[in-house]
Amino acid sequence: MIKFPDTFVWGASTASYQIEGSVEADGRAPSIWDTFSRTPGAVVGGHTGDDACDHYRRYRDDVALMAGLGLHAYRFSIAWPRVRPGGDGPTNERGLDFYDRLVDELCQYGITPMPTLYHWDLPQALEDRGGWANRRTAEAFAEYATAVHDRLGDRVQSWTTLNEPWCSAYLGYGNGVHAPGRRDPAAAFAAVHHLLLAHGLGTQALRAAGARSVGLVVNPVAVRPADPASAADADAVRLIDGLHNRIFLGPVLGDGYPADVLEHLTRLVDPTWLGESDEKIIAAPIDLLGINYYNPVYVASRPGAPEVDGRYPGVRDVEFRDPTGPTTAMGWEIDPTGLGELLRRLHRDHPGTPLWVTENGAAFDDRITGDHIPDDDRVSYLDGHLRAVHAALSDGVDVRGYLAWSLLDNFEWAEGYHKRFGLVHVDYRTQRRTLKDSALWFRSVIARNALPSQVTDPPA
Ligand code: IFM
Residues 29 and 85: beta-carbon distance below 8 Å: yes
CATH numbers and ranges of domains, the chain: 2-450 (3.20.20.80)
Our answer on whether the CB atom of 164 is closer than 6 Å to any ligand 1 atom is: yes
Per-residue model confidence as pLDDT tens for the chain (460 residues): 899 999 999 999 999 999 999 999 999 999 999 999 999 999 999 999 999 999 999 999 999 999 999 999 999 999 999 999 999 999 999 999 999 999 999 999 999 999 999 999 999 999 999 999 999 999 999 999 999 999 999 999 999 999 999 999 999 999 999 999 999 999 999 999 999 999 999 999 999 999 999 999 999 999 999 999 999 999 999 999 999 999 999 999 999 999 999 999 999 999 999 999 999 999 999 999 999 999 999 999 999 999 989 999 999 999 999 999 999 999 999 999 999 999 999 999 999 999 999 999 999 999 999 889 999 999 999 999 999 999 999 999 999 999 999 999 999 999 999 999 999 999 999 999 999 999 999 999 999 999 988 875 544 4
In this prediction, residue 454 carries a pLDDT of: 80
Catalytic residue among 341, 359, 412, 415: 359
Q: Give residue 404 CA to ligand 1 midpoint distance, Å.
A: 11
164 in catalytic set? yes
Q: Give residue 412 CA to ligand 1 midpoint distance, Å.
A: 7
In this structure, the residue with its CA closest to atom 1 of ligand 1 is 412
139 in catalytic set? no
pTM for the predicted model, two decimal places: 0.98
From the number of C-beta atoms within 10 Å of its C-beta (0-12, 13-18, 19+), residue 239 rates as buried
